Amino acid sequence: MTATSFFRSRAARARPLGRLLALRVLGTVAVLLVLSIVIFSLMYLAPGDLVKNLLGNRPVTPEAVAAVRAQYHLDDPLVVQYLRWLGGFVTGDLGTSIRLQVPVADAIAARLGVTLALCGLAFAVALAVAVPMGVRSAVRPGGAVDRIANVFAIVGLSAPTFAVGLLLLYAFAYYLPILPVYGAGDGGLDTLRHLVLPAVTLALGLGAIVLKLTRTAMLRELASDYVTAARARGLRDRTVDRIALRNAAIPIVTGASLVLTFLVGGTVLAETTYALPGLGTLLQDSVLFKDIAVVQSLILLIAIVIAVIALLADLAYLLLDPRVRDAGAAAIAGAGPTESTETVGSVA
């Protein structure tokens, strides 16, 4: 085979996959567009008067009310307001916070670091504990580690985030005052110490989900024929477990990516419980004050993050599992309906 024919064959195989990825991206953009319409509409249907929130309870004149409505374009048609807001969002102009009287982009940027650090630390703690525990409980089902893992999973899946946070606050503020229980600290290691308890609070629920995913995936792989054949050939248990874990990594990686969305709702509760100046508390305060510009921008940003995570999880599944990749590429390339259905059915 010549070099030219080799690259042509590679390009021919990559072309359907590229079209598949393009369709996934376009689908994600369409979903986000629909969500932007829903977010914009619901905020204007919510109870409460924006002008009254801005002017407070003091007596105001009709001229002042008209000036505020003109400043924030509240008298424009709803479609015009939506298009102006969406165009500003795309270009980075998120408007001005009515409550804080600063640009929304600056308000979000000032609190983004705390939320990202909290989510990253919670996700790292969850993976560091849940994946090894899930693998060990699958390798030795019914053992001590498996029983501890089941208790951990039950508590993590059933206990609300705020309840876990209050319990940890009570334990480490009253009985064992060794960790700070509120605020974000002064930066560096002090901030890390302040984030330990909130991260553990979030990691408990997230780790329980990852633990169950890991255990289920490992049990399925360990019951496969290739594992039985590997053991019959005399391979060591550690080698067999490593091979099974490599194949179980596909649902573990994609599942762990998707459960990242658990952090979105949990972060609001954790930041409120521990008085962290992050995006969660910003969203809560803005909803209470009906700061429309901040609420709309934050919710749409959260939706974008969730959509990107889901898209990356799909791409990771395509990259890790060649069966799914080949089935999707064949469907895009125009394979026969019977053949495509059988292929996807065999993958499922």
Burial classification of residue 4, based on how many CB atoms lie within 10 Å of its CB (0-12 exposed, 13-18 middle, 19 or more buried): exposed
Question: pLDDT averaged over the chain?
Answer: 77
Residue 331 has pLDDT above 80, yes or no: no
Residues of the chain with CATH 1.10.3720.10: 110-325+336-347
Residue 19 has pLDDT above 70, yes or no: yes
pLDDT of 271 reads 83
Q: Is the Cα torsion angle 76, 80, 86, 87 positive or negative in sign?
A: negative
Range of 42-56, 249-263, 283-297 with top mean pLDDT? 283-297
* Residue positions counted in the chain: 348
Cα 269 to chain center, whole Å? 15
Lowest-pLDDT range of 49-53, 138-142, 199-203, 232-236:
49-53
Give the mean model confidence (pLDDT) for residues 47-56: 67
What confidence tier does 152 reach under pLDDT thresholds 50, 70, 90? confident
Burial classification of residue 314, based on how many CB atoms lie within 10 Å of its CB (0-12 exposed, 13-18 middle, 19 or more buried): buried
Percent of the chain with pLDDT over 90: 0
C-alpha span between 95 and 87 (Å, rounded): 11
Residue 125 has pLDDT above 80, yes or no: yes
Residue 327 has pLDDT above 70, yes or no: no
Give the mean model confidence (pLDDT) for residues 130-157: 85
Residue 5 has pLDDT above 70, yes or no: no
What confidence tier does 114 reach under pLDDT thresholds 50, 70, 90? confident
pLDDT of 344 reads 34
Residue 47 has pLDDT above 70, yes or no: no
- Per the listing, tokens 């995913």 go with 213
pLDDT of 345 reads 38
CATH homologous superfamily of domain 110-325+336-347? MetI-like (1.10.3720.10)
C-alpha span between 318 and 327 (Å, rounded): 10
Tokens standing for residue 265? 């709702």
pLDDT of 337 reads 44
Residue 320 has pLDDT above 80, yes or no: no
Residue 20: CB partners within 8 Å, gap ≥ 6? 318, 328, 329, 331, 332
